[in-house]
Amino acid sequence: MLNNSTNSQTDSFKVAIFLFKWRKTLIIIGVAAAVLSAVFSSPFFITPLYKSTVIMYPASSNSISKSLLNENAIAKQDILQFGEDEQTEQMLQILNSNRIRDRVISKFNLTQHYGIVPGSKYQQTRLYDRFESNITYKRTEYMAVKVSVLDQDPQMAADIANEIAALLDSVKNDMQKERAMQGFNIVETEYLSIQAEVRKMEDSLTELRKLGVHDYETQAEMMNQQLAMEIARGNSRGINALDDKLKVLATYGGPYVSIRDALEHEKKQLSYIKARYEEAKIDAFEEIPQKFIVENAYNAERKAYPIIWVIILLSTLGALLAGMLVIFMVERSPAFLQKLKQTYS
């Protein structure tokens, strides 16, 4: 233990002697590195970039009808709930899609804004690389999504970030409507078909009523009772009149009952399919925001890149370490030092 402590003190002393011996050289190296890094990190060499961010949560529900028209009380609250992991991942995937990227590039003419010559070699690749380096999406620690935009124009950065947030609704609604419209067309076809069938059955019952069949079971019971009474009285005229009515009832009573029962079933189906039709119609033609905006982007007053003091600090430390390493190697190579003196003497 004592030897280790002594060796450590000896090494520290040697380092201190080394630094003191070459202090002037190291100071010159450090100052030169600081000045050069400050110059080369200035706006003359590195274009300053300003950062704007939008923070948002995904909505929990994707279906308007299920949120607003569902009889389930829990489902009705769905429209006010924030999304969870699954919705956050979906939002990130949509934000990274070419639907959003291409719309942003087109609206803000980023090809010209980024100084990329149209028709040049690898134009698209350079444009997309620049887009991805300046515009990033990531999940926050609180499960929100942050959209970050870097640009040399602070107003442009804010406008792009806010536009991306707005495009999220448009793109996601468009994607959902493609499927919702197909579902609506299927439900509409079925709804109109059942509706036409119900109307046809109602027309048939109307015609049967004109023939005298209004309520088969009740009419049959009453006519049979009346017939028994007329037979008991010996009223042949009344018996003949009832026989004629019973013949009509016997002829059209069966179809009447079949159509009536089928109509009742079809009306139940129509009521059910109408509810689905109204839900599908809302999903196909109505829109609601797909996100909750926590923080909109604003015009940044200070640049986010480059951070000059970090560049100066790292450059200076790197130059000093490199200088110390070179000096140490020179001190350990007397032959090399002697040769260097002879060369410049």
pLDDT tens-digit map of 294-331: 888 888 777 766 666 677 778 778 877 877 777 777 66
Per-residue pLDDT tens over the stretch 197-242: 889 988 888 887 777 777 767 777 676 777 677 677 776 776 777 6
Which range among 15-19, 118-122, 134-138 has the greatest average pLDDT? 134-138
Q: Is 70 exceeded by the pLDDT of residue 338?
A: no
Residue 132: per-residue pLDDT? 92
Per-residue pLDDT tens over the stretch 6-61: 555 665 666 677 666 667 777 887 787 777 777 766 566 667 788 999 999 888 76
Provide the 3-class DSSP secondary structure of residue 198: helix
Residue 110: per-residue pLDDT? 92
In which element (H, E) is residue 80 found? none
Using CA atoms of 96, 100, 102, 108 in order, give the dihedral in degrees to the nearest 10.
Answer: -120
Per-residue pLDDT tens over the stretch 96-108: 999 999 999 999 9
Q: In 282-326, where do the E strands start and end?
A: 291-295
* Residues 6 or more apart whose Cβ sits within 8 Å of residue 76: 67, 68, 70
Quick one: pLDDT band at residue 276, thresholds 50, 70, 90?
confident
Residue 73: per-residue pLDDT? 43
How far, rounded to the nearest angstrom, does the alpha carbon of residue 13 sit from its chain's CA centroid? 62
User: How many CA atoms, within 13 angstroms, populate the side-chain half-sphere of residue 62?
Assistant: 16
Residue 245 CA to residue 226 CA, distance in Å, equals: 12
Question: Whole-model pTM?
Answer: 0.65
Residue 175 CA to residue 65 CA, distance in Å, equals: 17
